[in-house]
Structure formats: structure tokens, C-alpha cells
Structure 1
Amino acid sequence: MRRRPLLAAALAAALALAGCSASADPKAGPKQLTVWIMGDSSAHFEELVKPFTDKTGITVDTVAIPWDSIDQKFTTAVASGKGPDVLQIGLSKLRTFASSGALLTFDDQILAAHPNLAADRFLDGVAGKSAAIGGKVVSAPWISDTRVLFYRTDILQANGISEPPSTWDELRADAKTLAGRGKGQYGYYIPQWDSALPVIMTWSQGGQIVDSAGKISFDTPQFGKAVDLYTGLYADKSVPTNADFDQVQGFTSGVAPMLVSGPYLAGAVTSAAPELKGKWAVAPIPSGSTNASLLAGSSLGVWGSTGNRDGALQLLDYLSEPQTQLTWYKLDGQLPTVKAALGDPSLTADPFVTVYAKQLAGAKLLPLVPNWDGETGKALLDALNSIVLTGANRDTALKGLYSATNGTSVD
């Protein structure tokens, strides 16, 4: 049985209410842009765009939208016809947002007028699938993200572990050793909200979660191995079970000295505990039969009925300049999507960036299904968390997952 994509249905209804003729905020003008930025990066973004305002005279009103509120905000904007001029779009939401019809399509004329948005300027694998839906380019890649292993070198070495684990089997063994340090100590941290991790584990076993027909299918031997790894870390008591566990505090305190996360975590750790400099590092994500990680990040889209289309496209062009992307990495710890920026000596000299870039080369996108976060990804986490947190029967939980997700199309 296939789950109905609730967000997509809500967006369709919203478009009907709006009469499919949304119009931008009438207060916006040619010298003003409203930009939705996800999460807590708005202050840094204001600093980033100051040179753009100085050069063009276009002011940028930056609005911070919590990640868990973006669906509701977007649906409301579609219904009212009053959206931002530019908005940040997480890749897992790109298909749903594009299907609403609210985003501007970047046709050949637009791309020719804004050379920084040309596909060949972006990382291979980023400019195509992560920016275009149904053959139409509806966004510009902005932030690239992948997953690597963060580890406390001091704590691992103090417990007889001289090198970071290079395989998932090694990670499980090392995590168990580290969890043996005493009560309240763990070896690894699994975010209960991260639906990408079990998919990465499946990829590392040589498996896929999309079948040859382009449909979601978790019912494979490789996914079964990933489930055993995921649940095994809990069975070993190597990971915390409280849902409110803070990964930055857990890592800096040493309670959980290994975890898989994105480059943004490095800035958070450095800010929270500068005294730990030299006592932690990053390494490629552990392998199974192969090494694979997540290609994530976000794009920037333009509201289709914006009253300031030219200004919005000028802003996207500016944000896609190599120097702007390098500045954003310095300000917010977010990896560039532009090849010239990621290959700049100021980044390649950083050993952390070397690991990130190597991992990006083999990274993969989560399936661009309708509403991954609220449907397929949620069903995946519901099944796994029911096993490890409430003791649900493994086979029963997985059958429920298969029933809820099989047949969901990535087309």
C-alpha cells in the first residue's frame, strides 16, 4: 500500500485556493528582495549579501525559517500568493516544491543572461539532479553537503584505538569498546531524526532502495544488513536512546566520541569547544562492500510571480560566484557547489575539506520522491525506531515499512 503524499496534496489544494495566479508581496519592489533562509544562518547571510546590496542598491530582507516549519510556510505562501522573492530549498523537498508550480523555471534565456548559473560551473552530480525536476531547471545549487565520520582522536587513542574505523564492522567494535568506559558513556551517536543514515548503510552494503523500475523498495538483502548494523549498535548499548541528545555537546564532552555528520558540524564544534583543537578530526564514512555517502545540501529558487525577478536572478548569480561561496564557507561552514570554489587553494589546504571533497566524489542523492521527509523517510525511521526504542518485532516492523513505501515513484 502506498502512502499518500500529504504535502503534495496540500500544495495542490493551496494552488486551487489561489486560483493558480499567485502574486508576489506588493510591498516588494525593484530595490528590495525578501529571502527565506532555512535554520539559524540568517545573520551570516545578511553579512554575506552586504556587498551585493552595496553594488546593486538592492536591499535584502533575510527571514529565518526553521527547518521544521518550511512545509507549512511554503503551503501558506502558495495559497496566499505572497511568497518570498528567493527561497532556500533542501534537496529532499525540491520535487514537492517544484511540483507546486510556484517556482520560476530557468529557461535558456535566463541562463544565458546569468552565466554563473550555468550547469557546467557546478559539481558533477549537483547541477543536474539536484537542480532540475522533470527536465526543467527550477533552482540553482547553493550548498553541497555530504556525511563523514567525526571522531575524538584523544579519546580513541586513550582507549587503544589508534586509527578511526574504516569499515562499519570496525566502527561497531570500536563503539562497543568506547561504551565500556563507564555508565553514561557511549561510543557512537545515531540521530533518531536522520533518515539518511540507514540509506547510507544500505548503499555501503552494495544495495539500493530504488529498484530498476524507479520505485522505492527496501525489501533487499543489503537493506537487511543495514538494519542489522543499525539495530546492533543499540543492542550493544553503544548509542544513547534519549531523543533529545545533543550531538555537539555529546561530542565535545566525550560522551559520544564518534558520529556521522556533515561539514557544518565542524564549525559548531569549533565554536562550542575551541580548547579541543587538535583533539578531533574527520575521516571518510565507514565502508561495507563499498564506500558511499550522502550528497545533500540545498538549492535556491525564485518565486515564480516575484515582483523583482531581475533582482532575484542577480542575487542568485552573485551567490554562485566562487568568491561568494568561499566567503559563505568561512562564515557558516557550508561547502560550495561551484567547482572553482571547492578547488580553491584556500580550501584545498584544509585537511578537513580534503576529506569532504573526496567523500563528495562518490556521494549519492536520496531519492527525489514526493515529500521524503514526511512520507518515505518518516516511515523508515518509524520502523527502525520502533525496533530499537520500543522493542517491536523486527520482521513485523519491516513488513510495515515495505507496505507503506513500496511503489513510491522517483519519476
Structure 2
Amino acid sequence: MKRAATTALAAVTAVGVALALGACSSPAETEADGPLTVWVMGDSGANFEALVADSGIEVEVVAVPWDAIDEKLTTAVASGSGPDLLQIGLSKLATFAEAGALLPLDDLIGDYPNLDPANFPAGVSGAATAVGGEIVSIPWTSDTRVLFTRTDILAENGIDAPPATWDEVREAAEILAGRGEGQYGYYIPQWDAPLPIEMTWSMGGEVVDADGNVDFDTPEFQAAVDVYTGLYADGSVPTNGDFDQTQGFVSGVAPMLVSGPYLGRGIADSAPELDGKWQASPLPAGDGGSISLFAGSNLGVWFNTDQQTAALELLDYVSDPAQQLAWYELTGELPTASAALEDDGLNSDPNVKVYTDQLSTAKVLPIVAGWDGIVGTELLNALNAIVLTGADRDASLEAFYAKIDGLAVK
């Protein structure tokens, strides 16, 4: 999988370099006729249309599946014909920027008050919006990971409060897995590459060294691996890859897991009868505290749009705190603007308050081109080989270190 990911990345980057070398002029200064084309990831197209209905800007929304974005980006960059505005998952930001797909915004956002970097938390503006020192995107939705627990099931098994540390998670999970055949204490998504990184951060470690090199060969990562593999060794985690986390949580089969606010929305929508029987809590801590992931997505302007002004106006419109709160009501995706995150109405739900508080200590994954396809994939390959097939731990980790050797933040 690494070879395929690397090949795709190389193709995108090569096209981007060619475009950059061949581009002798800035995007067109005159506005074109017709609607503004916006790429929205996943199945949120109808919601985005509803959000911008009163913007005064004609918009054509194209919903792009998350798993199709790499191919679509490659094709669009190669042809030079993309959208005007597009949603970008944070883990894809470096890939998009290095392909030359995004318009630098530093000199353009001054006339749009909602795009001022000061409107966003310090950990969001900059680290999560810029590549190579240039602002190439604006924060739009935020996401963080917290611990979800079925408090009713924990209480029935003598666990009075959600675990506050990873050691407590492991202890509680083993108790809960002892309820009988087919019952587990915790769920680890086999596709969730950020989880072991969050564990590493909570142990006080980093995954990028002082020189900007990606580096997992640390005592803190080893401690995270101990927790990760230990949960499997205890029999506390289901091993089937098609396990449904929402259904497992609702049924009580897996009454503890780490996930994002979207899970809370899913539980509330699909199982209202569980109201008062579950809660969100801060991510379990290690020696380094409770350090979670800042994820989510940004919005960027396509590098050669001929509707630059309209794109910036729409970007300013959806970045308004009121519109960000409206988006949360439509989708359950958290805002990024500080004024929206601090809204009393938003935080009146105690679970949402956990999410917004957790964002204050959340960290962004390294902005490295191909992070998902290289680091994320190889990290999961190594860990899943250990816990699912019994592969040698040390050999698997050494192979992982070798495969990511040379990757660095740019």
C-alpha cells in the first residue's frame, strides 16, 4: 500500500511542480459568470447548500467521497481545472499544497474580517492552516477525540467513574470484558491511525523530532504500544475488522471507546433511549497529560480560480461564527472560530463542553505530504500485524521505522 500511496503522491507533486514552473501570472482578476463550484467532502453536499442559501452567492456543490479525493485531486491538478473553493481534510493539507492546488492567502484575507487568523485558537491558526510558512487554507470544522463510556454499564460492574488514565482504561476494560462470551471492554478501530499517536502524546512524547523528522522510535511510543497491544492481549478488544463502533456502543458490547463528536451525534440520533446512560470524558492521560488530536477540515481556494473574489467572499461568509454554529446544528461538526467554540448555547450540553475543553489541549498531526498513505498506513500495518496475526513486536516496529525513514515536516 505504501508503494501505491507514494506513487500517487509523486504523480500529484510532479504535476504541481510543473504547474508552478509554468505559471507566469496570478489567478484572473475578473470574475467569471456562473456559479461558484465548491467541493465538499463526504455526504454533506445538501447541508452545505442549505448553509449558503442566503449568502447571495450562486453555488454549485460537488460532493466528493473521502476515499476518492486523491484521484480527483490528481486529475484536477493535471488538467488545471478544479473547483473554486474546496474542503481539505487536515491530513491532506500538505499534499494539496505541495501539488500547487491551493492559492496562497496571506496577502488576500485582509479585507475579509472573518478570515483573520486571530479569530481562531492559537493551535488552529498557523499549525493547521499553513504549509511552508504560507497560509493556504482557513479553519472550518474542528474535531477532537474524547473517551465515550456507557456509564450505566460501568456502574453495574463496579466502575464508578470513567477511566482518567490509560492504565485505568486497561483495568476497566478487562473487568468489562469479563461479562461473558462476546462482551468486550473497549474498542480499537483497526483503521484509526491517530489513536496510537494520541497515546504517544499522552505519554509525553512526540512523533516529530526537533529537526522536523518523523520519528516514532522513542520510549513514549513504546509505552503507547504497550497500552495498545495490551488491550488486545487482555482480550478486551474485538478483533473482527467489520465491528460497528456505534452499534457496539449502543448495544453495550463495547461500552468504552475513543472517538469524535460525530459519535455523540450518532448515539443521540439512533438511540435516544440511552440519554443519561452515556457520557463523554477527556481523553485518558499518561505521564504527559490528556493530549488529544485536533482534526477536522479547512477550506481553501483553488490556485487558478477565475472567481477569486467570490470564493473569498463565500469563505468569509461560512467562517462567520454564526454560520459555523449553524453548520454544527446541521451536521454535528464543531466550529473552529473561537467565538463559536465559546458560545454559551453550544456549551450548554455537558458532552459538548467536554469536546470544546479538549480542543484546548489538542494537537495537529504533522503536516507531511502523504501522511495518511505512508505513515498512517504503515503504522497500522505494524500494529495490526502484532495484535491480529501474532507478528513479532520488535521486528514489526523496526520495519515500520525503516519505511518512514526520511519523512519530514516541510
Mark yes or no: TM-score above 0.5: yes
Aligned to 1:239, what secondary structure does the other structure show?
coil
Deviation of 1:47 after TM superposition, in Å, equals 1.4
Q: TM-score, length-normalised on structure 2?
A: 0.94
Report whether the alignment pairs 1:295 with 2:298.
no
Instruction: Quote the offset at 1:351 in angstroms.
Output: 0.9
Match in the other structure for 2:102: 103
Amino acid at match of 1:295: F
Q: How many Å separate the matches in 1 of 2:405 and 2:43?
A: 35
Please say if residues 177 and 187 of structure 1, whose CA atoms lie closer than 8 Å, have aligned partners that are also in contact. yes
- Contact 1:379–1:401, Cα closer than 8 Å, also in 2: yes
Report the counterpart of residue 251 of structure 2 in structure 1.
Answer: 253
Superposed CA offset, 1:211-260 (max 9, x none):
12111111111111111110111111111111111111111111111110
Q: 1:38, 1:67 within 8 Å by CA — same for their partners in 2?
A: yes
The C-alpha deviation readout for 1:340-393, integer Å capped at 9, x for no partner, is 111111112221122112211111111111111001111111100110111100
Match of 1:267 in 2: 265
Alpha-carbon distance in 2 for matches of 1:93, 1:16: 17
Secondary structure, counterpart of 1:225 in structure 2: helix
Count of paired positions: 402
Q: Take 2:46 and 2:254, find their aligned partners in 1: how far apart are those partners?
A: 30
2:16 maps to 1:11: no
Letter in 2 for 1:343: E
Separation of aligned partners in 1, 2:157 and 2:45: 41
Q: Deviations over 1:167-188 (max 9, x none)?
A: 0011011111111111111111
- Residue in structure 1 matched with residue 49 of structure 2 by the alignment: 46
Counterpart-to-counterpart distance in 2, 1:324 and 1:260: 28
Distance 1:276 1:330, change over 3 A: same
Aligned 8 A contact 1:23 1:82 in 2: no
* AA aligned opposite 1:123: P
Residues 1:369 and 2:368 aligned together? yes
The letter of the residue matching 1:209 is V
Question: Residue 312 of structure 1: CA displacement?
Answer: 0.9
Give unpaired runs (5+ residues) of structure 1: none
Percent identity over paired residues: 58
For 1:317-332, list aligned pairs within 5 A. Answer: 317-332=316-331
Counterpart-to-counterpart distance in 1, 2:218 and 2:379: 14
**Cα distance in structure 2, aligned partners of 1:209 and 1:345:** 35
Task: Give RMSD over aligned pairs.
Answer: 2.0
Alignment of 1:11-410 (within 5 A): 11-15=12-16, 20=22, 29-52=32-55, 56=56, 58-108=57-107, 110-289=108-287, 290-410=289-409
Instruction: Give 1:265 deviation, angstroms.
Output: 1.4
**Do the aligned residues in 2 keep the contact of 1:7 with 1:96 (CA within 8 Å)?**
no
User: Which amino acid in 2 is paired with 1:242?
Assistant: N
How far off is 1:14 after superposition?
3.2
Contact (CA 8 Å) 2:151, 2:278: kept in 1 or not? yes
Q: Distance in 2 between matches of 1:192 and 1:406?
A: 23
TM-score (norm 1): 0.94
Asked if the contact 1:17–1:79 (Cα under 8 Å) also holds between the matched residues in 2, the reply is no
1:231 and 1:387 in contact (8 A); partners too: yes
- Rounded to whole Å, the distance in 1 between the matches of 2:311 and 2:75 is 21
Contact 2:13 2:95 in 1 (8 A): no
Stretch deviating more after TM superposition (62-71 or 160-169): 62-71
SS of corresponding position for 1:208: coil
Distance (Å, rounded) in 2 between the aligned partners of 1:62 and 1:268 = 25
Q: Deviations over 1:297-328 (max 9, x none)?
A: 11001111112111111110001101000111
Is the alpha carbon distance of 1:30 and 1:279 closer, same or farther for their aligned partners in structure 2, counting shifts above 3 Å?
Answer: farther
Contact 1:30 1:307 in 2 (8 A): no
